[in-house]
Amino acid sequence: MPTRVLVRPAWLVIAVFFIGCLPIIGRADRVEPKHETVVLLHGMGRTRAAMMILAWRFEKAGYETLNFPYGQKSSSLNEISDALTVFLEKNVRTPRYHFIGHSLGNIIVRNALRKSVRPGLGRIVMLAPPNRAAHLAKLFKDNRLYRWIMGDSGQRLADDEFYKTLPAPAVEFGVIAGDRGQSLTFDEPNDGIVAVATTRLEGMKAFVIVHHTHTLLVNTKDAFLLSKRFLESGSFEEKVEK
């Protein structure tokens, strides 16, 4: 009996100790909110689901995220860009916000920036952007199935004249290009859909090539870490403490 009386308090002491540590552990893992929003735009033929992993990673890092919905089949590029402007006004609740676009999503952003958008725009990260008329879009622009599925936006991506009227963003922007493509239609480095050379845009603050394909690039940890670094510092290079 005496032994049992002594053991029970010992377990209680241990239990209380660990329970008392839980708030400390929670505080260590908790990320301070950034009070900044990352606005995500998916690529052609995709849905918001394509950006969910990237959104989750940014939320874990303390950012608020908004995943802009659009359908290029039913709306023109100008209509989608105008809808983005309205979306920002209605949904951004932080003083500062950024764009991360994948593929066509970047052209929507650039087209929207022709006009005035909500104040507070910080930086832009472009993932595999067709910043010049895309080779595959030119190849398939007269195909009926392509025209039906890709709509007006698909035609714009093949139009050199359209790109001449499209200004580069006035804010800092960085480009992440993939070079893991195996497409037989290219004779230069590419991600399977977009040539590396096509992603470059005059005025870009930073540029980096990663070894991923066009479609999968957006879900990689590389895309997240590089994008986060650029949004925070304006560079893809990791800062080294001296």
8 lies in the same domain as 95: no
pTM, entire model: 0.84
Residue 238 lies in a domain: no
Q: Which residues contact 139 (CB under 8 A, 6 or more apart)?
A: 185
- pLDDT tens for 63-115 read 999 999 998 888 999 999 999 999 999 999 999 999 999 999 999 999 999 99
Q: What is the CATH number of the domain that holds 104?
A: 3.40.50.1820
Q: Which residue is listed with tokens 């676009």?
A: 101
pLDDT category at 152 given cuts 50, 70, 90 is: confident
24 lies in the same domain as 39: no
Residue 241 lies in a domain: no
Residue 12 lies in a domain: yes
Residue 67 lies in a domain: yes
Task: Give the pLDDT confidence score for residue 176 in this predicted structure.
Answer: 99
217 lies in the same domain as 145: yes
* Count of domains forming the chain: 2
Q: Is the pLDDT of residue 3 over 50?
A: no
Both tokens assigned to 43: 């690529």
Domain containing 19 equals 1-30
Task: Give the pLDDT confidence score for residue 218 in this predicted structure.
Answer: 97
> Strand 121-127's sheet: what is its strand order?
64-68, 36-41, 96-102, 121-127, 173-178, 206-210
Instruction: Tell me the pLDDT of the chain averaged across its residues.
Output: 87
> Exposed, middle or buried, 71 (CB in 10 Å: 0-12/13-18/19+)?
exposed
Residue 239 lies in a domain: no
CA distance 41 to 66: 9
Angle between helices 104-112 and 144-156 (to 10 degrees): 40
3 lies in the same domain as 58: no
Task: Give the pLDDT confidence score for residue 144 in this predicted structure.
Answer: 85
Residue 240 lies in a domain: no
68 lies in the same domain as 187: yes
3 lies in the same domain as 89: no
Q: Which residues pair with 190 in a beta bridge?
A: 195
